[in-house]
A and B are shown apart, each in its own frame.
Chain A
Amino acid sequence: MMAPALRRGSYWTLHYGLLAIYLFVALFPLFWLLKVSVTPNDLLYSEGIRLWPSRATLEHFRFVLAHSDFPLFFRNSVIVSAGTAIAVAIIASLSGYAMSRFQFRGKFWFIGLMLITQMFPLVMLVAPIFKMFSPLGLTNSLTGLIIVYTAFNVPFATFLMQSFFDGIPKELEEAASIDGASRFRAFRQIILPLTLPGIAATLGFVFTAAWSELLFALMLISKTDASTFPVGLLSFVSKFSVDFGQMMAAGVLALIPACLSFLLIQRYLVQGLTAGAVKG
């Protein structure tokens, strides 16, 4: 009886040992970002590879918040990401509902259209979208970015919302329509409130995606007033590439909303995908 117990013990040692390595690799780069952002400038080079500086400071954060354009970039990014997330959630719940509840002519082509958009490289669109948007005044404009990001995210969000609508019994709307409610009213007042978790997941996914987008923001935005966080951070890096403390403090600030929305969606990640897998 000793041997299996011993084997089980060493199995769990290995198990936790491997997980510890994963944890270290996953968290160390983020820890390092934080570490450099609180290292005072005079210690940055002398204590280059120490795990924690002998003296920590918040001066980089103070400087970035008070004397740089980062609060503006932050605000712009919040507007763009939140605007995109809300627009996508509305548009995708409508189309996801249609996909879940209706058989209509052209549905096959509609699905095909959305799948095509997931296949081709979006970088192809950088130049033509710039050419289309600049006479319309949509370059250097947050609205322009919201429109582009909404279009890019709607197909995936439609499939996501459809899977949530599929989980709600059809009898609910049938009962409501017998009671005399129009289908759209039943959708708004009965079905949508039941898919709030799905809407939250969509908001989280889309917010994260819009917050991270880089290439279209670089191409479409050239003015500081309309810069999003990635654009601002990259131009800061290329201009002041020696000020590591401030750059990393700005990096930590960019991380905060992304982590918050990750916490919002992370419990749907595996569950949502498992539900999809079981359904086949």
Chain B
Amino acid sequence: MTTTSWNRDAVRRSATPMRRRLARVAEPYLYIAPTVILIVLIMLVPLVIGLSYAFRDIQLLDPFSGGFIGLDHFRTLWTDESFWQAMKNTVLWTFASVALQFLFGLILAQLLNRPFPGRPVIQALVFLPWAVPSFLSGLDWAWMFNPVVGPLPHWLAAVGILSSPENILSDPDLAMWGPICANVWWGIPFFAITLLAALQSIPSDMYEAAAIDGAGPWQRFTRITLPFLAPTIAITVLLRTVWVANFADLIVVMTNGGPADRTQIISSYIFTQAFRQLDFGYASAIAVVLLVLLLLYSFAILVLRQAMRIPS
């Protein structure tokens, strides 16, 4: 059977006309062509154009703008206090959001890992915030923090965190924690889902053997679970850090960067410059700085990984 079909195949192949052979070589490229065309036209070309804007004076409402101005935008940026404030805010925003999302996500993944009655329903419900559109979670939390319709200021005042039920979003010292709360609420499911998937790939006999050897729950967690999860944790936290640093939706919706730039992060500052000031040149210059920072971050991570690998 196999020999005859192989023979037939060989005969057919030698008889294949040039055009069909060409079609066979071209086939994978035809499958990927739409993807490549879309990515190049809608993402790479604008990226390059955007990089060039950073060195040009592009004001949407000014028909005489468009000239090359070299590094002028970057000189302005160096003395722009809003920009430096945004840098500081980005660090707080990213670090606090990712750390809290990760911590609560890890606990949730642990809780959902073992089967128990009602798990499918509870799992679907605790993951629900992930499905809420980001603009809506921003609005929802802004309303929750509003003392007129929301309960949070009253609760916070009742337990003594706030001296009076006021909106923390208009308090320059506390405002950043509003979007952070919304972001943590919204991002816990992502970490929980990813970590749960990793937890379920740990062979359960590892735990059984450890339990027989007398290891307690905490020992099992630190000696088995954490080492197994380490690669997943590392990659998820690193990628998520970049993602959260770029995530401007909640801030644009909840505070628009205010009060007095105290919640402005770099990516929301880029958006504000482009969307409200219509200053595309300056927006692109900030974007270039953000891109360089992200590249440095990724590079530092690679170096760190390399350094950590050598001793072992």
* A3 interface hit (Cβ, 8 Å): no
Give A105-141 as 1s and 0s: 1 = Cβ < 8 Å from B's Cβ atoms: 0110010011001011111111111111000000000
Give A204-222 as 1s and 0s: 1 = Cβ < 8 Å from B's Cβ atoms: 0000100110110011000
Contacts of A123 in B (CB 8 A): 246, 248, 267, 270-271, 287
- Contact in complex: A124, B35 (CB < 8 Å): no
Q: Considering the chains assembled together, what is the distance between the CA atoms of A130 and B274 in angstroms?
A: 10
* A66 interface hit (Cβ, 8 Å): no
* A198 interface hit (Cβ, 8 Å): no
Q: Considering the chains assembled together, what is the distance between the CA atoms of A108 and B237 in angstroms?
A: 26
Contacts of B232 in A (CB 8 A): 277
Q: For this complex, into which size category does the number of interface residues on chain A fall?
A: 35 or more
Query: Which of B132, B151, B201 is within 8 Å of A274, CB to CB?
Result: B201
Chain-B contact segment, one of A20-28, A57-65, A67-75, A188-196: A20-28
Query: Which of A23, A36, A269 is within 8 Å of B125, CB to CB?
Result: A23
| B125 CB, nearest partner CB in chain A, Å | 6
Given known A-B contacts A121-B287, A211-B133, A178 and B139 have beta carbons under 8 A apart: no
- Contact in complex: A98, B31 (CB < 8 Å): yes
- Contact in complex: B122, A122 (CB < 8 Å): no
Q: Considering the chains assembled together, what is the distance between the CA atoms of A48 and B242 in angstroms?
A: 39
- Contact in complex: B149, A18 (CB < 8 Å): no
- Contact in complex: B185, A117 (CB < 8 Å): no
* A147 interface hit (Cβ, 8 Å): yes
Give me 21 A-to-B residue pairs in the complex whose CB atoms sit less than 8 angstroms apart, sorted by A's number: A22-B126, A23-B126, A29-B140, A29-B141, A91-B35, A95-B31, A98-B32, A117-B39, A119-B242, A126-B271, A129-B42, A158-B35, A183-B27, A215-B248, A244-B143, A261-B131, A263-B124, A266-B124, A270-B123, A270-B193, A270-B197
Query: What are the 9 A-B residue pairs with the smallest beta carbon separation, nearest first?
Result: A262-B131, A151-B42, A212-B133, A273-B197, A98-B31, A128-B46, A102-B28, A127-B280, A124-B287
Interface residues of A (CB under 8 A from B): 12, 15, 18-19, 22-23, 25-27, 29-30, 32-33, 36, 44-45, 48-49, 91-92, 94-95, 97-99, 102, 104, 106-107, 110, 113-114, 117, 119-132, 147-148, 150-152, 154-155, 158, 178, 183-184, 208, 211-212, 214-215, 218-219, 230, 233-234, 237, 244, 247-248, 251, 254-255, 258-259, 261-263, 266, 269-270, 273-274, 276-278
Interface residues of B (CB under 8 A from A): 5, 9, 27-29, 31-32, 34-36, 38-47, 49-50, 53, 58, 60, 107-108, 111, 116, 122-137, 139-141, 143-144, 148-151, 154, 185, 188-189, 193-194, 196-198, 200-201, 232, 242, 246, 248-249, 252-253, 267, 270-271, 274-275, 280, 283-284, 287, 290-291, 294, 298
